[in-house]
Structure 1
Amino acid sequence: MEKLGIKEKQLLPSRTVFHGTGLSCSLIGKIKIDVLFGDKDHFCREPIWFEVVNLDSPYHALLGRPALAKFMAGIITIAGDYQKSAACAAASSRLAESLVITEEKRLLDRVVAMASKQPGMPSDPKETEAQGSFQPAKETKKIALDPEHPERFAVVGSNLDIK
């Protein structure tokens, strides 16, 4: 936008939403620019609306469906700066990686916060059994369930009422 000499006050408001860019970007506005298609012998000048965004991208312009549909007859060749494209692609990759790392750190912080609110768990499973929520009465007795199988028994309180 700056290299074309376009000032922000020349932009019109826009409610367009971008999809498929891979990164979030803020929409600044839109502007109609005359674009020349073709070569010096065969060309066509057409006004095209461009949505302007604040996005570090290897592309200076993305032609969307409306522009491509308008010029379906022929091949569109666009020249660009390959060094700038490679630098922008590398920067976008670093940005995407940092966004993923930031999101993973946020989720990890959330898990740690949730874990700190939980009561402590003993590391030894035998401690868990000993500290269960159900604790038998101090005075208990074993009652055989089957005389032929002494390992089968029930534990009941010894001070229970007969009823």
Structure 2
Amino acid sequence: MPSPGGYALVLNPTIVAWRTYKFSRVLINGGNNINILYRDTMTKLGLKAEDLEPTRTIFHGIVPGLSCSPIGWVRLDVLFGDSSHFQREPIWFEVVDLSSVYHALLGRPALAKFMAVPHYAYLKMKMPGPKGLITITGDYRKSLECARDGAKLAESLVIAEEQRQLDRIVALAGEASKEAKKVKLNPEDPSCSKYVVICARLDGK
């Protein structure tokens, strides 16, 4: 594997709700103190907003420079391993209405629940299971794919926000132009070609 330690640990656990899915893009991030489920993933699991419990959590870092309030939180069973040997634990997720290349993010609370140890150099995670040690292996090519898709998504979100800002400025300028009028700097001089633009709502004084 080229550049050990340079890739995110992306694994494929099974998440159980009304439906059961094996998700291929779940980010393991020991730097996060919450577990995150994205709204698209919630929908795939057959969950609705009314299935969520209220939460007061506010966090930063998912959207650079902005805080984020989840739409609710929910407890779901997460499974690592295969049918012959697996570990299953109930995990609380904060559900966020954000776009992401990942299906979910498992932070320190999930790692502690599973007693799991991630190894970012080898893109592996180990945890105790009912029959002994369980080792889950990531793939650096999938990590690269997620990184590329994440960069494209971030660029598209920035462009969309810049376009919204531009549309807002154009709209404000249009409104301002309707309320403005041109006044000659020297009304007594017919040859004067200099004007100043003022608000049409100003008092005559």
TM normalised by structure 2 equals: 0.41
Quick one: higher RCO (CA 8 Å, sep 6+), 1 or 2? 2
Bigger strand share:
2
The structure that has the greater radius of gyration is 1
